[in-house]
Amino acid sequence: MRALRRFTVRAQLPGPLALLQTLATNLRWTWHAPTRELFASLDPQAWSACGQDPVRLLGEIPTSRLDELAADEAIAATVRERADELEAYLAGPRWYQEEAGDDPALPDAVAYFSMEFGVSEVLPNYSGGLGVLAGDHLKAASDLGVPLVAVGLLYRSGYFRQSLSLDGWQLEHYPAIDPQGLPLQLLTTGGDHGGDPLLVEVAMPGDRTLAARVWVARVGRVPLLLLDSDIEENEPDLRGVTDRLYGGDQDHRIQQEILIGVGGVRAVRAFCATTGHPTPEVFHTNEGHAGFLGLERIRELCTGSAVAANGAGPSSSSPVTASGSGLDFDEALAAIRAGTVFTTHTPVPAGIDRFGLDLVRHYLTDRLLPGLPADRLLALGSEENPETFNMAHMGLRLAQRANGVSRLHGQVSRDMFGGMWAGFDRDEVPIGSVTNGVHGHTWEATQVTELLGDPPPDRSAHPPTEVSDADLWALRNTLRSRLVDEVRRRVRAAWLERGASEPELGWTDHVFDSDVLTVGFARRVPTYKRLTLMLRDPDRLRGLLLDPHRPVQLIVAGKSHPADDGGKALIQQIVRFADDAGVRHRIVFLPDYDMSMARYLYWGCDVWLNNPLRPLEACGTSGMKSALNGGLNLSIRDGWWDEFYDGGNGWAIPTADGVEDPTRRDDLEANALYELISTQVAPAFYDRTDGVPTRWVEMVRHTLSTLRPKVQATRMVREYVQDWYVPAARAAADVTGSDYAAARDIAQYRARLNKAWNHVRITGVDASGLPETPVVGSPMTVRAGVDLAGLEPSDVTVEAVVGRVDDTDELAGPITAAMEHRGDDSWEVAVPLPHAGLTGYTVRVLPRHPHLSSSAELAKIVLAG
Ligand SMILES: *Cc1c(COP(=O)(O)O)cnc(C)c1O
C-alpha cells in the first residue's frame, strides 16, 4: 500500500542526549569529523543506512537503543563535549574578530544571495559548481567569523537525481523533500521565541500575491535563509514557484528570481528585526539571478520603509531605512550601488540569464515595487538586443564592485562585458577577480588532515617535511582503495537500477584494481566541458586502459541538464563504451554525481582530468578538491589551473586555442592528452624504487605543500573581506552618512554629466618641447583644449595617454598622466617618455567624483580625434 502523503516526526531524545538535536541541526557537523564520529557511534548501521544524515538517524534509532545510550556515561560525556565545542565555535572570536583588525569599516553583517547552496547532500539544494562554491563560501565565512547572512530558495525537489536506462540514456527523478525532515527551523514572528510562521510577500501580476515562509539553516555561525512558496496561503500555481531548481519556463524562472531578490531582502529585514541580527551593510550577489534585490533596496530608500512581513505592508516605523526616506530613484541607486558586490561566473554570453523585455515589464509592477519608474527599471537590464533584459548587465549596473572567479575569467569578463564600457581599453573595464577556493574540512579526507595538520591561513607553502615518501604513498594507496570499494558498490547498484539481476553481476566485485593509476573526470555536461574528448580515438583510449604494464582506470560521472538531449547523447556514448565487457573493469560511468559521490572521487583519484574548451571554464573547483588530497591535475590551462599550474603540481594539456576548426581542435587536444598520459603520467606513476614511485610522490608532496594552502575557501573569503566587503562597506557608509548627502551629491553629479557629456569635446591637442631626437625619460609636454559643455573643471579628469603603437596606431600598455587645468579651456602636463621605440599619445576626458571607485565606473569617456 502506498501512502498518500508523508511527513517527518522528530525524535524525543532522553535528557542526556537532548544536545544531539542541537548538534544535528547545526550543519557544522558536515565539516567536523569528531561530531560525525559521535553520530556514527550511536548506531553505525543506521548511520550508513540513512546516508549519514543525523536528523534522520535520530528518527530511526529505536527508543530502546536511545534509552540504552542515554544510560551510557561515556556517550553522555562525549555528547556534552561536542556540544560545548560547538558552543565555543559559535560564540568565540575568530579571524574576523581578532586579526581582520579594528577597521571601523568592517561590516557588521554581509548578505550573500545565491540561487543554489550546496552545503551538504542532506540539504539537496544545488545543481553543481555554483551551489557547492556558495556552500563552501558560507563554511569558510563561518570558520573565519565573517558575519554573513545567506539567502536562497528551498526547492521541493532540488535538482534531479540521475539514473540510466538500459541503453545508457539519462533518466531524471525528482524526489520531494520534507523540510521538517531537514536541519531547518521555521522563522517565526517571535524570532527565537515562537509565534506564527513569518511570511514574506511579493506582488505578482493580476493582483495576486506570492507568499513564502522562511526556513533557517545554521551553517556553523552563518544563518542561511531559504524561502519556500509551498504553503496553503498561495494559489496552487504559485505554490510551485520553488518546486525545483532551474526547471520550468521563463515565467517560472522570473517568479523565482523575484522571490529570491525582492522577497530575499524582505526576509533579511524580517530576520534581523525578529532575531536582533545586525543589519547587512554589504549585499553580495553570487551570479545575476538574485539581482532584483537591488531594486527592492532602491524601493526601500525611495518609500522610506522596509516591507514588514505577514502582509503588514510598508511600515514607516522600520529602523532599517527610515532615514533614507524621500530619496529619488537616482539618489537611491547611488546609495545602494556603494554597498553592492556582484560576482559573475559565466564566461559564455549564451549562459547569461536573460528575459524578454515584455515579460519583465509584466512582472515589475508598481504593486511589486511602488514608486519606481518602470522605464528606469527596464533600462538597468538593457543590452545589445533591445528586446531582452540582461540580468548580468543589471548586476553590473547595480553594483559598484564586480568580479570574475579566476584571474583568466576576470580578463574574459572584461572582454565579454567590455561593450558596456565602450572607448575604454579592456584592462580598464572595472571588473576584477577573486579566484575561487574550496572548503578544506569539507573536501579533504580526514587522513590527510591528520597526517599534515591544517595549512597556514595565508597562501604560503606548508611543506610536509616530517612525512616520509613511504607515508605519503601509503596515504594515497589507502584513499585509492577506499574509492575502489565505493566504485564497486556503485557500479553494482547502478546495474540493478538499469534492470540487471543479481546473478549477472558477479563481475562487479572485480571492477577496478586498487593498485592501478586512477583517473577521475566528473562534472556537469555542457558542451564546453567536452565529456567525450577522451573518446576521440577509442582504440587509443582502450590501449591506455588495457596496457599490460601501465594500465589506467577511469571514472566518469556527470549530469546533463534535463532539457539538453545533446548532453545526454554524450553520456550515452561514454556509457556504451564503458559497457563493453572488454574494458568495463577499467572504465565506469557512475550515475548521480553529487556531493556524496564526489568526495570519494576527490579523495581517491590519482589524477583529476579536465579538458574544457579554453577559456570557457570560469574557474572550476573540482580539481582544487582533488589537490587537497594530493591528487595531481591533468588539465587544459583554463580557469584556476591557468593561474596555479607551476610545472611540478600536475600537467597542462596543450590547448589548440587559436585553431578555428573545432573538429581539428578536438583532434589536436585529444592527441596531446593521450600522449601526456602514456609518456609522462603513467611512467611517473609506475616507475618504482623500493615499491614507491619517487617522482610521483615528489609531485604529490609539492601539490600538498604549495597548492593546498592556495585553493582554500578561507583564502578566497579573506580576499572578499579585505578587497571587496570592506571597501564596499566604507563606500556605503560614505554615501549614506549625513542623511545620504553623498548619495544625493552623486545623483546630482550624474544628472549633470548625463546632460553635458555628449557635448564635451577635445578641441585640440599638441605636444611640444620634444628635443630633436627624444630619448627615454625626456619630458614631453602635452597640451589640450577641452570644451566642457558647462561642466566644471573639477568634474572631470583630463588625461594624457602615452604608449607604444604599432601600424594600427593602437596604444599598447599605455601610461596615463592627469593634466592640469591652466585656465579657460586649456589643460597641460609634462610626461617623461616611458620607453624607446615607436610611441604614440592621445588625450581623453573622464568623469571625476570622490565617490567613484574608478574613473571607468560610469562608462563615460571622451577621446580626442
Ligand atoms: C566541486 C563540485 C562541482 C564543481 O566542479 P567543477 O570543477 O567546477 O566542474 C560540481 N559538483 C559537485 C558535486 C562538486 O563537489
Identify the residue whose C-alpha is closest to ligand 1 atom 5.
622
Q: 622 in ligand 1 pocket by Cβ < 6 Å?
A: yes
Counting from 1 in the atom list of ligand 1, the atom nearest the Cα of 623 is 7
Residue 617, CA distances (Å) to 107, 612, 709 in order: 32, 6, 22
**Contact call for residues 440 and 707 (beta carbons, < 8 A):** no
Q: Mean pLDDT, consecutive 10-residue segments, the chain of 865 residues?
A: 72 86 96 97 94 93 90 95 98 92 89 98 94 98 98 94 97 93 93 86 98 98 98 97 93 98 98 96 97 98 75 41 71 97 93 95 97 96 96 97 98 96 95 98 97 84 83 98 98 96 95 98 90 95 98 97 93 97 97 97 98 94 98 97 97 91 94 97 97 97 96 97 96 95 96 97 87 83 96 97 90 94 95 89 96 95 94
CA-621 nearest atom, ligand 1: 7
Retrieve residue 761's grid coordinates.
569635446
Ligand 1 site, residue 639, Cβ cutoff 6 A: no
**Distance from the CA of 622 to the center of ligand 1, in angstroms?**
5
CB of 597 sitting under 6 A from ligand 1: no
Beta carbon of 611 within 6 Å of any ligand 1 atom: no
128: Cβ below 6 Å to ligand 1? yes
Ligand 1 within 6 A of 617 CB? Answer: no
Distance 545 CA to ligand 1 centre (A): 25
Q: Are 228 and 187 in contact (CB under 8 A)?
A: no
pLDDT for res 7: 67
What's the CA-to-centroid distance between 35 and ligand 1, angstroms? 25
Ligand 1 mean position to 623 CA, how many Å? Answer: 9
- Tell me the CA–centroid distance for residue 621 and ligand 1, in Å: 6
Q: 558 CA distance to ligand 1 centroid (A)?
A: 9
Tell me how far apart the alpha carbons of residues 47 and 70 are, in angstroms, rounded to a whole number.
18
Instruction: State the distance from the centre of ligand 1 to the C-alpha of 521, rounded, in angstroms.
Output: 11
> Which of 161, 409, 523, when mutated, tests ligand 1's pocket best, judged by the most ligand atoms within 8 Å of its CB?
523
Of 132, 159, 435, the one to substitute when testing ligand 1's pocket (max ligand atoms within 8 A of C-beta) is: 132
CA–centroid distance, residue 129 to ligand 1 (Å): 4
Q: What is the DSSP code (8-state) at residue 703? A: I
Report the distance separating Cα 449 and Cα 342, nearest Å. 34
For residue 335, the CA-to-ligand 1 centroid distance in Å is: 36
Which residues in 470-505 are b (16+ Cβ under 10 Å) and which e? eebbebbeebbebbbebbbebbbbbbeebeeeeeee
Amino acid at 627: A
Tell me what pLDDT residue 318 has.
Answer: 40
Please tell me if the CB atom of residue 633 comes closer than 6 angstroms to any atom of ligand 1: no
Nearest to 464 by CA among 681, 605, 630: 630
Q: What is the best residue among 31, 622, 624, 638 to mutate for testing ligand 1's pocket, by most ligand atoms within 8 Å of CB?
A: 622
What pLDDT, on the 0 to 100 scale, is given for residue 461? 76
Ligand 1: centre distance to CA 233 (Å)? 37
With a 6 A CB cut-off, is 595 part of the ligand 1 pocket?
yes
- Residue-wise over 517-531: b if at least 16 C-beta within 10 A, else e? bbbbbbbbbbeebbb
Judged by DSSP in three states, 805 sits in strand
Instruction: Assess whether the C-beta atom of 520 lies below 6 angstroms from ligand 1.
Output: no
Q: How far is the CA of 792 from the centre of ligand 1 (A)?
A: 52
Q: Going from the N-terminus, what domains does the chain have, and what CATH number goes with each?
A: 15-91 (no CATH), 109-433 (3.40.50.2000), 519-711 (3.40.50.2000), 760-863 (2.60.40)
User: Residue 578: what residue type?
Assistant: A
Cell of 79: 555528547
Residue 315's SS3 state is strand
Residue 348 Cα, ligand 1 centroid: separation in angstroms? 18
Burial (Cβ within 10 Å: 0-12, 13-18, ≥19) of residue 359: middle
> What is the residue with the minimal CA distance to atom 3 of ligand 1?
129
Identify whether the C-beta of residue 96 lies closer than 8 Å to the C-beta of residue 147.
yes
Contacts of 572 (CB under 8 A, 6+ apart): 167, 168, 169, 170
* Residue environment code for 246-275, b if the CB has 16+ CB neighbours within 10 A, otherwise e: bbeeeebbbbbbbbbbbbbbbbbbbbbbbe
- Three cell numbers written together for 648: 611540478
Ligand 1 site, residue 129, Cβ cutoff 6 A: yes
Q: Is 620 in the pocket of ligand 1 (CB under 6 A)?
A: yes
Residue 621 Cβ < 6 Å to ligand 1? yes
Q: Which residue has the cell 546495474?
A: 495
598 CB within 6 A, ligand 1: yes
Which pLDDT belongs to residue 458?
73
CA of 8 to the centre of ligand 1 (A): 30
Q: Which of 590, 449, 464 is nearest to 162 (CA)?
A: 590
Q: How far is CA 816 from CA 377, 503, 835, 846, in A?
A: 36, 76, 13, 12
Q: How far is the CA of 120 from the centre of ligand 1 (A)?
A: 13
> Which atom of ligand 1 is least distant from the CA of 619?
8
Q: Which atom of ligand 1 is nearest to the CA of 529?
A: 9
625 CB within 6 A, ligand 1: yes
Contact 352, 384 (CB under 8 A): no
Q: Structure pTM? A: 0.95
CA of 174 to the centre of ligand 1 (A): 20
Q: Is 813 helix (H, G, I), strand (E, B) or coil?
A: strand
What is the distance in A from the centroid of ligand 1 to the CA of 865?
Answer: 49
Q: Note whether 218 and 187 are within 8 A (CB).
A: no
Other CB atoms within 10 Å distance of the CB of residue 293: 26
Q: Is the CB of 391 under 6 A from ligand 1?
A: no
* Ligand 1, atom 1: closest residue by C-alpha: 622
Looking at residue 309, what is its pLDDT?
Answer: 59
Q: What spacing in Å lies between the alpha carbon of 150 and ligand 1's midpoint?
A: 20
Q: What is the reported pLDDT for 225?
A: 98
**What distance in angstroms lies between residue 590's CA and the mean position of ligand 1's atoms?**
15
The pLDDT value recorded for residue 314 is 42
pLDDT at 319: 39
What's the pLDDT score for residue 769? 67
The closest-lying atom of ligand 1 relative to the alpha carbon of residue 595 is 13
Distance 128 CA to ligand 1 centre (A): 5
Residues 127, 124: Cα–Cα separation, whole Å:
8
> Which atom of ligand 1 sits closest to the CA of residue 624?
7
Q: Whose CA is nearest to atom 11 of ligand 1?
A: 128
Cβ of residue 132 lying under 6 Å from some atom of ligand 1:
yes
How far does residue 523's CA lie from ligand 1's centre (Å)?
6
Residue 133 CA, closest ligand 1 atom number: 1
pLDDT of residue 308: 54
Q: Residue 389 Cα, ligand 1 centroid: separation in angstroms?
A: 29
- Ligand 1 atom closest to 610 (CA): 7
CB distance 199 to 212 below 8 Å:
yes
> What atom of ligand 1 comes closest to residue 625's alpha carbon?
1
Residue 618 CB–ligand 1 contact under 6 Å: no
CA–CA dist 126, 94 (Å, integer)? 28
Query: Residue 552 contacts by C-beta under 8 Å, 6 or more apart in sequence?
Result: 516, 517, 518, 519, 544, 545, 586, 677, 682
Torsion 745-747-751-756 (CA) sign = positive
User: Is the CB of residue 90 less than 8 Å from the CB of residue 220?
Assistant: yes
Give the integer Cα–Cα distance in Å for 310 and 161: 35
Distance 52 CA to ligand 1 centre (A): 20
Note the Cα 779 to chain centre separation in Å: 48
Is any ligand 1 atom within 6 A of the Cβ of residue 120?
A: no
Report pLDDT for 620. Answer: 96
C-alpha 459/C-alpha 645 separation (Å) is 15
- CA-nearest of 457, 448, 412 to 432 is 412
